[in-house]
Amino acid sequence: MQNKKREYFGEQTRRGIENFVIHRGELSAPAESETAGGCQNRLPREFIRSLAEVKEAVFRGIQEAEHRYPEPLFTTLMEVLEEIRVGAWDDQFPIPLSQGGAGTSIHMNFNEVVSAIIEERIGLSFHPLEEGARYQSTNDIIPTAVIVTVFRGLLMVEEETIRFQQILVEKERQWRGTLMVGRTEWQDALPIDASQVAAAWAGAVERDRWRLHKIKERLRVVPLGGTAVGTAFFVPKGYLFQAERFLRELTGLPLSRSQNLPDAVSNQDSLAEVASGYSLLALNVIKICNDLFFYTSSPVGEMCMPEAQWGSTIMPFKTNPVLIEFVKGLAIRVEGHCGVAHRYAEEGNLQLNAFLPFLLEELLLAAQELCSALATLSGKVFPTLELNQERIQRNLLGSPALLNALRDRVPYPVLKEVYEESRRERIREQTGALDRLVSRIAERTGVDKEELDTLLRKGVGTYDVERK
């Protein structure tokens, strides 16, 4: 292994370092490590891996089609790309994704590093542009590597989404048979089975799961071979088919070269669609968190979780919903990343979108934070979430909404009239209040009180609470 203190990149990389400085620490002059490619500003590991795979597919395609490189050179080239792929040279890629030039600085950086290592190792010349970029443009190589990176991120998010859906379905099974107050617009409405509450959450996440799955069909199309503007300028067909085949083998992904290369180079709506899928998933996560805030709150208390940590520096008897807040905070930020990703996607002009590296950065952050949010829900929140049966029953029996279950046999005006009378007489919270209300309804309607009691016990009349 070479001494990694040495800089193997060249002049074009150094210019990129100087031009694209991100201040991530104190609001002052950047530290030496930042301007020289400190760890905060380096290219993300997952993208370095993807770019190395794309470049290897390209060079394997060239060698398969043309036998261009002598054996010692080709063997060394493959060794270097493999080392880069597994992370041995990450410190040689110091330019952040936040940059101008559509990724040209990244491509230059990669080619300079490969060239310098090969020359040092075997003493043979491998020009960064003449050979390092043969049959390639930044405009097809970088987008292809971006798609590989985003595809893997999408797979991770999809996996966490499936796991979360399974957890919710399990809660649906566990909670079946517990009747509780259903609410609309923050008001008591009709009784609902607790399993149906979980089923509603699971249904939303199930749609997210299938949305993400369908997005993969469009995301898998790559612009490899389109070169600068999608015209495949300077690209022999024999090499191109081989490179596409090697790319699938190296990545293990179902990638397909676009049949409309000018479109694939010019437009980034497939990446924007990934952002839309992530944003909708974050939306549903936020909705579930909002529901959990209500159900676990002190006034409602129909669901409860163990204390995750002490909740106050001054109040011993206070528990904060820190995990739910953490998840919601991440989901809100994901929506922000996705909104910015959409803006970058629409900023393409004519035959290229120069903001592609920025777009990738937002999608990487969105995927990472979504995975963290979902893993917290699946691994910490829902496994410990329990129904408070006592509070559920008290809230249900103390709510006039339970009387709405009698609508099948009792006219609307009668129910409204009886409730208003009871409210005026302040009997709602008194012992036996519900029984007296049912007696009044029986007297005014002639419906047998036992029948009304039976309807109340069922809660939702003849509705089958078990989800089909």
Looking up residue 327, the CATH number of its domain turns out to be 1.20.200.10
Question: Same domain, yes or no, for 350 and 450?
Answer: no
CATH number, residue 26: 1.10.275.10
> DSSP characters for 309-364?
S---SS-TT----HHHHHHHHHHHHHHHHHHHHHHHHHT-BTTB-TTHHHHHHHHH
What pLDDT does residue 300 have? 92
What pLDDT does residue 317 have? 67
What pLDDT does residue 42 have? 82
Residue 63 in any domain: the answer is no
What pLDDT does residue 309 have? 65
* Domain count across the chain: 3
What pLDDT does residue 92 have? 95
- pTM for the whole thing? 0.86
What pLDDT does residue 435 have? 75
- Alpha-carbon Rg for the chain, nearest whole angstrom, is 31
What pLDDT does residue 441 have? 82
At residue 120's C-alpha, the angle toward residues 116 and 122, to 5°, is 115
- Give the type of residue at 271: L
Question: Same domain, yes or no, for 256 and 362?
Answer: yes
Residue 465 in any domain: the answer is no
Question: Same domain, yes or no, for 104 and 236?
Answer: no
Residue ranges in the chain whose pLDDT is less than 50: 1-3, 28-40, 427-431, 460-468
Show which of 133, 163, 188 is a domain's final residue: 133
Residue 368 in any domain: the answer is yes
Show which of 77, 110, 133 is a domain's final residue: 133
d(CA 19, CA 200): 50
Question: Same domain, yes or no, for 251 and 359?
Answer: yes
Show which of 369, 389, 409 is a domain's final residue: 389
Question: Same domain, yes or no, for 237 and 335?
Answer: yes
Contact of 42 with 99, CB cutoff 8 Å: no
Question: Same domain, yes or no, for 384 and 403?
Answer: no
d(CA 306, CA 126): 62
Contact of 10 with 112, CB cutoff 8 Å: yes
